[in-house]
Chain A
């Protein structure tokens, strides 16, 4: 039994369609894929908020910022 449904290439290619493994799980794969994508946004937003938080705490008197502005 092959995960792809292709245990042998002794076939006429006209009769072969999908050849990816675990056929029948397409909807599940899409759900997992979408979860990965949405989770990425959630994690990224949290990380960015933490980064902005630490930027806000840095250089309270604005001296470094003025230097960077002058540096262009």
Chain B
């Protein structure tokens, strides 16, 4: 691995991403608690399993093709490209599921590696020893983002979607769509970064807007829960059966979000390794575009945007716990696109304004278009993420989007177009898939099943087992 400093950097970076992955798992614990708390008692187990099984399904598909897409699609769709730019990495060497670098691997290269053209030459990006060791943890960090996109949709569609349908949507979104937008707008060589000046450092658009778009598409085809709207079209509130669980779930999502933020950074890199225009010898942390930032910057801004969101949410919802917590989350999402550069007070104010707009939009869309988003996911993630990207375009106007030469600067039009691409890249393909599933009668459970509850048969077996064991134990008492 070269000299001791390089070795230390590689192993530190490996450990750094590993820690972020563990933190990010808390997001999914939080999502599961949140959804179960928001659902009614007769739907608990199905709600839990629907979200839980997205984890393994997105994991295996992200291993088979999701990671490859990230390295193959920065200039378009690999076989069909929008630009003549060369890819930074060879996806077949770095991320194809049969590459030795997608297996257990040390820092060097042997005959197996040589057969795949993989070297241990630090000058060769594809063979740089850092990839030999980091591939697994870097893959996992991206994977946890993938599972997050699927989980965002999961909450919106509770209590009536068929699990099989949701899992297909989860795989499409988590292992194809979001990672495509990440290749385009969330990588150092992405065409959106280079030609639009797209800037979205902590994934307002690339994770949240796309997931919100996908959730909205699913909801349009799926329809509202039975009883959600009165005969005159006005919506009924369907309160969570357990508000405590919902809020603690959101608290856990906040906690996991720390890992998410840290995972968006490269913790320590030398200007020489970046190989861009930065001069001198000062090492730095960078965002995903390899442009300098610090962990302090994102810590300041994470907390201030969270606080702005919670404070605003508390007053505009008149102390409603669900919306206070959700506004905190939405505050972070609204500031995330520029949280590598914002001043903390700017992050706080953006974090306060964005959730207010999203809250109003949520109820407007619910009333006007009869959209039953059970957890406000489209508002918090979709509208919040979209607005976050648009605001960053104005706030950071003229700032270099990349350390490389020839890249467009950050600008309002580029970020607006980028935000539309993110939302629509989630919306259109998922709408098509949902339509196909709907036509095949595979999208929604029958009304009888929805009314008796998704856990009806499971509850019968549970009650029978409880009755049986109680009777047996009572008979044993002398």
Contacts and interface: CB of A to CB of B under 8 A. Distances in A.
Contact of B399 (A3, A13, A32, A44): A3
Interface stretch (B27-35, B128-136, B238-246, B273-281): B273-281
A69 interface: no
Contacts of B272: none
A20 B292 CA distance: 12
Nearest to B394: A3
B282 interface: yes
A8 interface: yes
A40 to B, nearest CB: 5
Contact of A21 (B308, B341, B349): B341
Given A13-B271, A19-B341, 12 more contacts: A2-B397, A2-B398, A3-B397, A7-B399, A9-B292, A10-B405, A11-B279, A14-B282, A30-B345, A40-B315, A47-B319, A51-B318
Contacts of A8: 277, 400
B68 to A, nearest CB: 29
Interface string B308-336: 10010011001100000000000000000
Contacts of A13: 271, 278, 280, 282, 284, 292
Contacts of B315: 40, 43-44, 47
B343 A21 contact: yes
Interface of B: 271, 276-280, 282, 284, 291-293, 308, 311, 314-315, 318-319, 341-343, 345-346, 348-349, 352, 395-400, 402-403, 405, 409
A6 interface: yes
A25 to B, nearest CB: 9
Contact of B311 (A20, A40, A51): A40
27 contacts: A2-B396, A3-B396, A3-B397, A3-B398, A3-B399, A4-B398, A4-B399, A7-B400, A7-B409, A9-B276, A9-B291, A9-B403, A10-B277, A10-B278, A11-B278, A11-B279, A12-B282, A13-B271, A13-B280, A20-B346, A21-B343, A21-B346, A21-B395, A21-B399, A29-B345, A36-B349, A43-B315
Contact of A9 (B278, B318, B341): B278
A68 interface: no
Interface in A16-36: 16, 19-22, 26, 29-30, 32-33, 36
Nearest to A3: B397
A31 B318 CA distance: 25
Given A9-B292, A12-B280, A13-B282, A33 B348 contact: yes
Contacts of B291: 9
Nearest to A33: B345
A1 interface: yes
A33 B405 CA distance: 37
A43 B313 CA distance: 12
Nearest to B312: A40
A12 B279 CA distance: 5
Contacts of A10: 277-279, 405
Contacts of A7: 398-400, 409
Contacts of B341: 4, 19-21
A21 B396 contact: yes
Contacts of B346: 20-22, 29
Nearest to A23: B343
A19 to B, nearest CB: 6
A36 B345 CA distance: 10
Contacts of A36: 308, 311, 348-349, 352
A20 B349 CA distance: 14
A10 B409 CA distance: 13
